[in-house]
A and B are shown apart, each in its own frame.
Chain A
Amino acid sequence: MKIVDILVREAVVLDLESRDKRGALGELCAALAAAEPGLESAPLLEVLQAREALQSTGIGEGVAIPHGKLPGLPRLLASFARSRAGVDFESIDGAPTHLFFLLVVPEHAGGAHLKALARISRFFRDEAFRKALLEAGSRAEIVAAIEQEDARF
């Protein structure tokens, strides 16, 4: 599975305004809902918050991968957001989170969900990839960085 195949490019956010977890998740959901016809922001936010309540998806090194299963969704969707100032995402290393990769999957897509999560989390272990995302000047540069990482594996 390629991440570029599920990435909704129009939903990429260059700089989040919110500094707190709820606000950042809200912006991510709103951006994805605006770009994806038929997707509503509120139920998505609810699903993501329920997942965060189990354990934060802030995996450290300034990265979070909020994700959830949304009933009725026809296919896997992903989007990306960046916060220059950093968000308190209750990350496992306690540090502010700057890079957010959102993953939303249909209710019964357990296997594909895990594979996408595994792939995204693997991308972010690459320091050069994190740096490219932090330094990208435009949405096109962010998409290019993700495409480049996707082509490596």
Chain B
Amino acid sequence: MIVGGGLVGTTLAGKLSREGHDVSLIERRPERAAELSRSLDVRVVEGNGATAGALRAAGAEEASLVVACTESDEVNFVTGRIAASMFKVRNVVVRLRETEHQEAFAHLSRGDRVEIACVNPEAAAVEKIVSLFEVPGALDVNDFMGGALRVAGFPIRAGSEFAERPVLDMRLFFAETPSLVVAIQRGDRVIVPHGGEVLRAGDIAYFALARSDLENFLELMEARANASHKVLVAGATHLGLTLARRLEQMGFAVTLLEPDTALAQRAAEELPGALVVSGALPQLLDEEEIETVAAFVAVSPDHEDNLVGCLLAKRMGAARAFALVDNPSLASLIGEIAIDAIISPRLLSIGLTMQHVQGRRVKKVAALFGDRVEVLEAEVVQGAPVTRAPIAELDLPRGVLVVAVQREGALRMPRGEDCAAPGDRILLVAETAETAAAAEFIAPG
């Protein structure tokens, strides 16, 4: 059961229903509810999800999962509590932006015998941006296997060491580790490469990179860390302030740009270490010597402004520009416009929620290329198919790439003739429609 028919709720409903789950969705706004019942293949109930009546009407008594993902932390809070205490729903996921709410929710849920997870899209977005600073040149970074392996996306530029290079050359370069190309976007197509694929200029390619290979890889990619320690953050929102604090801890000098004078004033009080500047963006970019900064990060609530701000910053010479953008059609522009990374809190929410939906054995899921490809880390369960037959003999869905196996903390190359052992972590990549079926081989249920 999903409460909240926004972008996160509807995307989740679609995904879960395609995976064969029986899905119902509660939406408060009558027109939106009517629209969703036409466009989605799920049961739509119009009502207030923060009431027992609406939850019961949508089938809370039989639900094995309730996801509360309305725009309001308060509604999600109440929905989550009712689902857990009154209806004893086994698995409850609530989207809460405020850390305070998360703490209170965890406190109230202590006695419950249910699986409860808070999803905080803002915190996830901040972590994502921080990881972009840790991997120069990357347009997206996802950590797996406790940080032992990163999956990072890079644009393949003409004349670069990777343009016109067979993906198999990664095996030549990094024979001891599972570092390899895991997904490619070429024009409208996405490819999970096997064997003979060759990287082309203009591709966006995701690489799995073992921690020990990262530095050498970045050198080959000619992605060098910017020597500048200055970062411009546009938007003194809650997220902007959290990000500024994290960047200050990393040793960056942060300048916050905020057009609203009241917000700017408050930010200056909360962040004594940062420089807060209030005014119109183009003029501010000019004054802040944008060509000397390590990155320009636009996190204002107006996502179109973020894109425009990044385009301006890049044109004026910013080394890197990252924009917070939720609209999937805007986000798909990446690669065609001069923006280095787009961060979507909603997509991050969906990924985090799917992790909980797929059960405790799935440790991490990351959506690549606007959720067309998924990277999934799962823990091998006793008796799972992958423990009973060599990987090469499993009837895995077509196109699934088994990237790495981690046993007792050590990363290894998966070999066709090997079986996995319970407790091993397996990382796989596939087109999104295939990953749930592939996970069944590792952690059925």
Contact = CB atoms under 8 A, between A and B. Distances in A.
Contacts of B171: 55
Given A118-B161, A122-B165, A125-B164, A65 B216 contact: no
Interface of A: 51, 54-55, 57, 59, 65, 92, 110-111, 114-115, 117-118, 121-122, 125
Nearest to A53: B175
Given A92-B168, A118-B161, A122-B165, A111 B175 contact: no
Given A55-B171, A59-B169, A125-B164, A115 B220 contact: yes
7 A-B pairs with least C-beta separation: A54-B175, A110-B216, A55-B175, A114-B216, A111-B219, A118-B161, A111-B216
8 contacts: A59-B168, A59-B169, A115-B220, A117-B172, A118-B161, A118-B173, A118-B220, A121-B172
A65 B176 CA distance: 16
A100 B421 CA distance: 39
B175 to A, nearest CB: 4
B29 to A, nearest CB: 56
Interface string B116-144: 00000000000000000000000000000
Contacts of B172: 57, 59, 65, 117, 121
Contacts of A110: 215-216
Contacts of A51: 175
B195 to A, nearest CB: 8
A7 B171 CA distance: 24
Most buried by A among B161, B171, B175, B216: B175
Given A54-B175, A111-B219, 8 more contacts: A51-B175, A54-B413, A59-B172, A65-B172, A111-B216, A115-B219, A118-B161, A122-B161
Most buried by A among B172, B215, B413: B172
Contacts of B413: 54
A118 B216 CA distance: 12
Contacts of B169: 59, 118, 121
Interface in B203-236: 215-216, 219-220
A26 B175 CA distance: 21
Interface string B157-184: 0000100111011011101100000000
A114 B168 contact: no
Interface in B78-112: none
Contacts of B220: 114-115, 118
A40 to B, nearest CB: 23
Contacts of A121: 165, 169, 172
A118 B170 CA distance: 10
A54 B176 contact: yes
Contacts of B165: 121-122
A92 B175 CA distance: 14
Most buried by B among A51, A118, A122: A118
Most buried by B among A55, A57, A125: A55
A114 B218 CA distance: 11
B415 to A, nearest CB: 10
Contacts of A57: 172
A12 B169 CA distance: 25
Contacts of A111: 215-216, 219
Contacts of A115: 219-220
A104 to B, nearest CB: 15
Contacts of B161: 118, 122
A111 B213 CA distance: 10
A114 B173 contact: yes
B159 to A, nearest CB: 10
A95 to B, nearest CB: 14
A140 B72 CA distance: 76
Contacts of B216: 110-111, 114
Contacts of A114: 173, 216, 219-220
A51 B172 CA distance: 10
A117 B173 CA distance: 7
A57 B368 CA distance: 31
A110 B175 CA distance: 13
Contacts of B215: 110-111
A114 B172 CA distance: 9
Nearest to A57: B172
A145 to B, nearest CB: 21
A117 to B, nearest CB: 6
Contacts of B219: 111, 114-115
A5 B166 CA distance: 26
A111 B168 CA distance: 19
A51 B175 CA distance: 8
Contacts of A125: 164
Contacts of B164: 125
Nearest to A58: B172
A69 B220 CA distance: 18
A117 B172 CA distance: 8
A66 B322 CA distance: 41
A40 B161 CA distance: 33
Contacts of A92: 168
